[in-house]
Structure 1
Amino acid sequence: MKKIAVVGSGFSGVVIAQKLAEEGYSVEVFEQRFHIGGNSYSYRDEESGVMIHKYGPHIFHTDNENAWNFMTKHTQMMPYVNRVKSTVNGQVYSLPINLHTINQFFQKALSPKEAKAFIESLSDKSIEEPRNFEEQALKFIGKDLYEAFFKGYTIKQWGLDPKELPASILKRLPVRFNYDDNYFAHKFQGMPKNGYTEVFEKALDHQNITLHFNRVFKREECTNYDHVFYSGALDAYFDYKLGRLDYRTLDFKMQREEGDFQGTAVMNYGDTNIPFTRISEHKHFAPWEEHDKTVYFEEYSRECGSDDIPYYPIRLTGKQLLLKEYIELAEMEKNITFVGRLGTYRYLDMDVTIKEAFDVADKFLTLKESETMTTFVVDPLA
């Protein structure tokens, strides 16, 4: 059997490991943490009985049937609709901005057509081609909604003035002119009944898969395998020889209470005088369960240090040169494929990660004996 190394046991690594193991390959999975699942790891809190998303909320949503089928193959998916709220200036509103948000915020009773015309009247028509995030928002929705729901939250989340962020971040008009407060618009939406960890455990339960925990995979070990699938940080693979790529990391402050703290799973805080970006109350991610106690987390975003867990890549134009240099180094490697959020330095939803992992595994299985495969799934600079 050919020997395969998979670095990381998040969705990228687990999908690839399972697929190749089923095809007869001998797969070793290296995980530097004490658990599988990457940032999607979940566990049952002993004191409250609540299922906790250790690294922040993960709601599964997709239009990709293969990604949904992967989940339902390994767990029972329960119906779940993500209804996000936002506290601004002492008032609670629904997100994404919808007809109820507009009417409540401006103290009106507009119809959909009236609301469209009203928002259009608020937009900054002096901006023809938005140059940054702020201008894009002002062109779309005007000053009042932008400052209430986007400006402060964005400053706290990214540690940057919105004028420094590219306009492409805000790609679509973030407004619905009906009363739909479902945060996502995908065909399949849900939560794993027994948490995400069950998915990873079942996917890795194969005689051809060997797991190594608390184990950092070194570049020089690649020669021990016929091929390596690397979902760790791209710059870490090269021991940061060119410098570190920029990430934001998150800190979570856990709180416990009796009963119900906020009555919803996610509450955003757009005011800059409140240091955290949102509070997530995890028992509301499993509405089919009942708990007398509750656990909630204040979420703080900051610059990622050398000992922190990287969450969000900061893909600013000024940093693209360093990324390009790392990509050039990666393309010189042999028999290795860089995958996932960290390996390709992109923010990826879970379903996209699953889809791309299947694509990578399928491509690998079609390679001829003499071919090597060193590739990014898509152009990381796009």
Structure 2
Amino acid sequence: MSGNEKIMIVGAGLSGAVIGRELALAGHQVEIIDAREHIAGNCHTERDADTGVMVHVYGPHIFHTDDAEVWNYVNDFQTFMPYKNRVKTTSNDAVYSLPVNLHTINQFFGKTFRPAEARAFIEEYAADKSIVDPQTFEEQAMRFVGKDLYEAFFKGYTEKQWGCSPTELPASILKRLPVRFNYDDNYFFHQYQGMPQNGYTDMIGRILDHSNITVKLRTRFERADDADIGHVFYSGQLDGYFDYEAGRLGYRTLDFERFSYDGDYQGCAVMNYGDASVPFTRITEHKHFSPWEEHAGSVCYREFSRACGPDDIPYYPIRMVEEKEQLAQYVARAEEETDVTFVGRLGTYRYLDMDVTIREALDTARLYLAKKADGAAMPAFLHRPV
């Protein structure tokens, strides 16, 4: 097809919206479809009718990045208000700060360590120095913080979150969680952190607001030849695109028990529950995600993690070792397709933060425009999942 093609994008979340915007700006006609009744995917936010609280409908999304271009990009469509994610955790009837920091260590062990003293204590007396090359989540935690801190803050939470023993999970999961030997309780360490003043759905709506973009909700994608479609960008489930012919890839899903409260329920946005005896992983109080607003009432979620069934919303790709062969089959099938590129968390079966999602969407759109200008084929993946 010569000239600017008509583009089909499956999914009106961050990946689809950003790719669609970039290609629309380049003159392409873009049709974006989504099976849900709203845009923004799992980032969807809406005002609670009773309290006025901005609710993160599918669980909290906190924007953090070191990518200046991505930060400037989102700020073109929404004012981002300053926000620091300060997580607390309840363990054995006490409340601590996460990530593990100097305050956590001193409180937990009943000490008054200075930074160097705490570092020496953890290394000498707490950490399991017999573990030289940690392979599992549990080994990494034992080597990192030792048995007591691991069992208080990580073991039970991880079992609930992933539905398996930490001995079955790779060490790489824990490597993302820092230990700080100072009193910094900001959960993230990125240069740019914030929350969109009017919510993510408003931001994504502004990204989609272009005369070359058409959005169709409550519309499912069906694989069929369409002479009018030049290329498809698919952000749905990779295995779902192929009708699960090699079986379903593993995901965890979330159930939310929503409740209201007259006042301030827990005094913070996120309270984890590390004890295995507590069935939920955390409680989120959504008005604290917009601290520049004032609300008398409150909306909270108790969050439960479980295996994702066929009719559930997939949240977290599990990527267990035994799935590698199955994933490789789907990647090979995807690379046999023509005029389809798989994008986003579901399309590439990778856990992606929002900033990485936007970065990859921008890069994908730019690669498509460059390939088209050169008359070259667009790859199935910007980053291969295996």
TM-score, scaled to structure 1: 0.98
2:173 corresponds in structure 1 to 169
Following the alignment from structure 2 to structure 1, what is the Cα–Cα distance between the partners of residues 300 and 227? 45
* SS of match in other structure, 2:180: coil
**Alignment check: 8 A CA contact 2:163 2:306 kept:** yes
2:256 corresponds in structure 1 to 252
2:258 counterpart letter in structure 1: M
How far does the alpha carbon of each residue in 1:92-120 deviate from its partner, in whole angstroms, 9 at most, with x for none? 00000000000000010000000000000
Structure 1 vs Structure 2 CA RMSD: 1.0
1:57 corresponds in structure 2 to 60
1:316 corresponds in structure 2 to 320
**Alignment check: 8 A CA contact 1:9 1:38 kept:** yes
Of the three residues 318, 333, 338, the one matched with 1:334 is 338
**Alignment check: 8 A CA contact 1:333 1:374 kept:** no
Unaligned 5+ runs, structure 1: none
Aligned pairs for 1:217-296 (under 5 A) are: 217-221=221-225, 224-296=228-300
The alpha carbon displacement at 1:174 in A equals 2.7
* SS of match in other structure, 2:158: helix
- 2:304 paired with 1:300: yes
Following the alignment from structure 1 to structure 2, what is the Cα–Cα distance between the partners of residues 171 and 109? 27
**Alignment check: 8 A CA contact 1:222 1:228 kept:** no
Q: 1:178 to 1:326 in 2, by over 3 A?
A: same
**Alignment check: 8 A CA contact 1:258 1:293 kept:** yes
1:339 counterpart letter in structure 2: V
Following the alignment from structure 2 to structure 1, what is the Cα–Cα distance between the partners of residues 225 and 14? 22
1:371 corresponds in structure 2 to 376
Following the alignment from structure 1 to structure 2, what is the Cα–Cα distance between the partners of residues 221 and 351? 33
**Alignment check: 8 A CA contact 1:140 1:173 kept:** no
1:197 corresponds in structure 2 to 201
Following the alignment from structure 2 to structure 1, what is the Cα–Cα distance between the partners of residues 246 and 177? 38
The alpha carbon displacement at 1:368 in A equals 3.8
The alpha carbon displacement at 1:131 in A equals 2.2
The alpha carbon displacement at 1:232 in A equals 0.5
1:376 counterpart letter in structure 2: F
How far does the alpha carbon of each residue in 1:41-73 deviate from its partner, in whole angstroms, 9 at most, with x for none? 000010110000000000000000111112100
Q: 1:172 to 1:21 in 2, by over 3 A?
A: closer
The alpha carbon displacement at 1:134 in A equals 0.3
Of the three residues 67, 72, 77, the one matched with 1:74 is 77
2:46 corresponds in structure 1 to 43
Following the alignment from structure 2 to structure 1, what is the Cα–Cα distance between the partners of residues 196 and 97? 25
Following the alignment from structure 1 to structure 2, what is the Cα–Cα distance between the partners of residues 330 and 219? 13
Identity %: 60
Following the alignment from structure 2 to structure 1, what is the Cα–Cα distance between the partners of residues 177 and 207? 38
1:139 corresponds in structure 2 to 143
**Alignment check: 8 A CA contact 2:7 2:31 kept:** yes
Following the alignment from structure 1 to structure 2, what is the Cα–Cα distance between the partners of residues 340 and 290? 34
How far does the alpha carbon of each residue in 1:293-346 deviate from its partner, in whole angstroms, 9 at most, with x for none? 101000000000000000000111111100000000000000111000000000
TM-score, scaled to structure 2: 0.97
2:385 corresponds in structure 1 to 380
Q: 1:223 to 1:311 in 2, by over 3 A?
A: farther
Following the alignment from structure 1 to structure 2, what is the Cα–Cα distance between the partners of residues 287 and 206? 31
**Alignment check: 8 A CA contact 1:234 1:343 kept:** yes
**Alignment check: 8 A CA contact 1:219 1:238 kept:** no
2:94 corresponds in structure 1 to 91
**Alignment check: 8 A CA contact 2:99 2:177 kept:** no
**Alignment check: 8 A CA contact 1:12 1:340 kept:** yes
Following the alignment from structure 2 to structure 1, what is the Cα–Cα distance between the partners of residues 228 and 212? 17
2:169 counterpart letter in structure 1: L
How many pairs are equivalent?
381
**Alignment check: 8 A CA contact 1:235 1:245 kept:** yes
Following the alignment from structure 1 to structure 2, what is the Cα–Cα distance between the partners of residues 101 and 338? 42
**Alignment check: 8 A CA contact 2:157 2:274 kept:** yes
Unaligned 5+ runs, structure 2: none
Following the alignment from structure 1 to structure 2, what is the Cα–Cα distance between the partners of residues 195 and 179? 30
* SS of match in other structure, 1:220: coil
Following the alignment from structure 1 to structure 2, what is the Cα–Cα distance between the partners of residues 234 and 222? 20
